[in-house]
Amino acid sequence: MPVLSEDSGLHETLALLTSQLRPDSNHKEEMGFLKDVFSEKSLSYLMKIHEKLRHYERQSPTPVLHSAAGLVEDVIEELQTAPVNNEEKELLQLLSTPHLRAMLVVHDTVAQKNFDPVLPPLPDNFDDDFDEESVKIVRLVKNKEPLGATIRRDEHTGAVIVARIMRGGAADRSGLVHVGDELREVNGIAVLHKRPEEISQILAQSQGSITLKIIPAIKEEDRLKDSKVFMRALFCYNPKEDRAIPCQEAGLPFKRRHILEVVSQDDPTWWQAKRVGDTNLRAGLIPSKQFQERRLMYRRSIGTQP
What confidence tens digit (pLDDT) does each residue in 9-34 have? 666 676 676 666 666 666 677 777 77
Report whether pLDDT(223) > 70: no
What pLDDT is recorded for position 286?
92
What pLDDT is recorded for position 57?
76
What pLDDT is recorded for position 109?
86
Beta-carbon contacts of 24 under 8 Å, excluding residues fewer than 6 positions away, are 31
Contact 122, 211 (CB under 8 A): yes
What pLDDT is recorded for position 254?
93
Contact 275, 269 (CB under 8 A): no
Name the DSSP class of 48: H
Q: Give the tens place of pLDDT for each residue, 253-297.
A: 999 889 898 888 878 889 989 888 887 777 889 999 888 888 888
Q: Give the tens place of pLDDT for each residue, 168-188.
A: 777 888 788 888 888 888 888
What pLDDT is recorded for position 122?
58
Q: Give the tens place of pLDDT for each residue, 43-78.
A: 878 888 888 888 777 777 778 888 888 888 888 888
Query: Residue type at 269?
Result: T
**For the whole model, what pTM was predicted?**
0.40
Name the more confident of 149 and 304: 149
What pLDDT is recorded for position 220?
42
Beta-carbon contacts of 98 under 8 Å, excluding residues fewer than 6 positions away, are none
Report whether pLDDT(221) > 50: no
Name the more confident of 202 and 5: 202
Sign of the CA dihedral running 78, 84, 85, 90: positive
Which residues pair with residue 214 across a beta bridge?
136, 183
- At residue 13's C-alpha, the angle toward residues 12 and 19, to 5°, is 90
What pLDDT is recorded for position 117?
62
Name the DSSP class of 248: G
- At residue 57's C-alpha, the angle toward residues 55 and 59, to 5°, is 75
Pairing relationship of beta strands 229-232 and 259-264 according to DSSP bridges: antiparallel
Which residues pair with residue 139 across a beta bridge?
211
Report whether pLDDT(224) > 60: no
Q: Give the tens place of pLDDT for each residue, 86-138.
A: 888 888 888 889 998 888 888 888 888 776 666 566 556 555 554 444 788 88
Query: Residue type at 92?
Result: L
Gap between the Cα atoms of 272 and 57, Å rounded: 44
